[in-house]
Amino acid sequence: MTSPLAALARVAHTLARTEDLEATISAVAEEGRQVFGAQRAGVFLLDEAGGVVPFAAPGLSAGYVTALQARWREMAPAAAILRGEAYFVRDARDDRASPMHDQVEAEGFAALAALPLSYGGRVIGWISFYHDAPRDYGAEERVLASAFADQAALAIGRGRLLATVSRVKQEWQAAFDGLGSGLALVDRQGRIERGNRFMAELAGVDVTALRGLKLPALFQGWPADGAELLTLAQASTERVSCYLDGPGGRHLAVMATPRPEGGFVVGITDVTDEVNLRSRLVQSEKLAALGTLVSGAAHELNNPLAGISAMAQALLLEMPPADTASALQTIRLEAMRAARIVGDLLTFARPRALERRDTNLNQIVRETFSATPALSDHGAVWTLGLDPTLPAVSGDPELVRQVVTNLLVNAAHAMAEGARREAVVRTAWNAEWVTFEVLDSGPGAPPDQLARVFEPFFTTKGPGQGTGLGLSISHGIIRAHGGDITGENREGGGARFSFRLPRDPTRIPRISHA
Ligand code: ADP
């Protein structure tokens, strides 16, 4: 054996130079073998799951290493190693009870020194030296062996850490560059510290040129309040977003999230396809609505016109005088029906301007019940919950009356078929709104129908029973007042239709969509 101190110094020197984990471990095994005059050596590391990974095992057979991997926990040295203590055996062949006795015999070694490798307060594995002849480690040698193992553990631990860091860095870099959105780390002044490939592509510059560039300068379309975006993000300490027009007519969505250490993470997504798709969709929805409108109008007008023309034909064929009066009467009724439909259509297409005055919603509800006795047909029971303190709102009473009538008539229709015919009508108010709601005990509507009830000409009623214009006209009236109207199914059955009107229409809250 060489001088222990010289050996340690040499080991330290070698290990300090090796960067790569594999090379470090091989050097540890080889140097240790030489220092302690062993014929074989082995470095075994514990993985996350507590399994053993053999790293360098110069001189050991593959069969021995595999057996050791499977059984090491059952063996006497394992407990000592896990406690962080070294374990020395003069002649391992004497231990007949060892689960590895046969393998030890086959391998043909006698003495064994197993030294724990501790790093960061944890046992990360061990290093073993095997001697062909029985051998005692003296006190001084044991101290040297432990010092050697500590030195080795430090180098291996550091190597492992470096390997992890460089793997994580590679993964992060791959994710950063592979991302289908632009991503950049930006300093407080909006200068790019690091940007990914997609960001460079969006900006039309080389990825290596991104560093140091200022974001607003990079994107010509960066809005005038673009610097504002970062200022806003800084002030709110939350994610802030905006849209901007990128190069080549692209539409970009930009998001700035403040970093705890200062500066921002800025993400830029190309939403050109979504924007185009949406405008195409809006266009085709408009066309579809127009189609429904035209075919609905044609269909509705067709019935009374057919009646009128049949009656006129009968008159031409000179029916007996008694029938003339009834034919003329039919013609008049059918013409009135056609006129009503045309009237509805006109209201829908060109609603008249609101004539606002103080409107008492409770009074309108009561008057509607008096004016529409049919609401109580088939024994329908209405419970009125009208708030007596309801303030007047600025509205057009005649148009609001039209909406109330429509909602009540619809509820009565819905309940006509069912067994239970109980409905509740309520009014209520708060600082901003006055609300009206009808809760009926009808069948409600399937979700796909419910989504369409405010469409013009959408009706589930038979020919001549409904034009499907009532709710779309109501919708137009309530929106013109600055209010909202909604329809939904009630839990436990029935529908709830309601609207609300702003108490002060000059202060309608507007939600802005970034
Ligand atoms: P119409 O009453 O002429 O059909 P509306 O526009 O008033 O036209 O209503 C459209 C459709 O909405 C109705 O045909 C019906 O299917 C549905 N609907 C309206 N109110 C209710 C309600 N209270 N319960 C269930 N369905 C309703």
Q: What is the pLDDT of residues 280-293, one digit of tens each?
A: 888 877 777 777 77
Mean pLDDT score of the chain, rounded to an integer?
A: 87
Q: Is 439 in the pocket of ligand 1 (CB under 6 A)?
A: no
Which atom of ligand 1 has the smallest separation from the CA of 409? 2
For domain 4-171, give the fold: Beta-Lactamase (3.30.450)
Which atom of ligand 1 has the smallest separation from the CA of 454? 6
Summarize pLDDT for 302-330 with one digit per residue, the tens: 888 888 888 888 888 876 666 788 888 88
Mean pLDDT of 418-447: 94
DSSP 3-state assignment of 276? helix
Axis crossing angle, helix 139-178 with helix 4-17, rounded to the nearest 10: 0
* Pair type for strands 495-502 and 111-119: unpaired
Q: Is 454 in the pocket of ligand 1 (CB under 6 A)?
A: no
Class assignment of domain 357-507?
alpha beta
Kindly indicate the confidence band of residue 169, based on its pLDDT and cuts at 50, 70 and 90: very high
E-strand stretches of 58-196: 87-89, 111-119, 122-131, 182-186, 192-195
Nearest C-alpha to atom 21 of ligand 1 is from which residue? Answer: 410
Contact 331, 314 (CB under 8 A): no
Tell me, yes or no, if the two domains 182-270 and 357-507 fold the same way: no
Nearest C-alpha to atom 19 of ligand 1 is from which residue? Answer: 410
Contact 385, 397 (CB under 8 A): no
Q: Is 418 in the pocket of ligand 1 (CB under 6 A)?
A: no
Q: Among 293, 410, 425, 473, say which to mutate for ligand 1: greatest number of ligand atoms within 8 Å of CB.
A: 410
Which atom of ligand 1 has the smallest separation from the CA of 467? 3
Centre of ligand 1 to C-alpha 482, Å, is 23
Mean pLDDT of 420-433: 94
Q: CA-to-CA distance for 73 and 67, rounded, in angstroms?
A: 11
Query: Looking at domain 182-270, which CATH architecture does it have?
Result: 2-Layer Sandwich (3.30)
Of the candidate ranges 5-14, 268-277, 441-450, the one whose mean pLDDT is the lowest: 5-14
Summarize pLDDT for 204-263 with one digit per residue, the tens: 889 899 999 988 888 766 765 555 778 778 777 778 888 887 777 888 888 989 998 888
Which atom of ligand 1 has the smallest separation from the CA of 471? 6
> Which residues, in sequence order, are CB contacts of 269 under 8 Å at separation 6+?
181, 182, 252, 253, 255
> Which residues, in sequence order, are CB contacts of 76 under 8 Å at separation 6+?
87, 95, 98
Which atom of ligand 1 has the smallest separation from the CA of 414? 24
Count, residues in the chain: 514
Q: Is 461 in the pocket of ligand 1 (CB under 6 A)?
A: yes
Q: Is 410 in the pocket of ligand 1 (CB under 6 A)?
A: yes
Which atom of ligand 1 has the smallest separation from the CA of 460? 14
Q: Is 414 in the pocket of ligand 1 (CB under 6 A)?
A: yes
Summarize pLDDT for 15-44 with one digit per residue, the tens: 777 778 888 888 888 888 988 999 999 999
Domain 275-349 matching CATH 1.10.287: the answer reads: yes
Give bridge partners of residue 79 from the DSSP assignment.
none
Q: Domain-by-domain residue ranges, the chain?
A: 4-171, 182-270, 275-349, 357-507
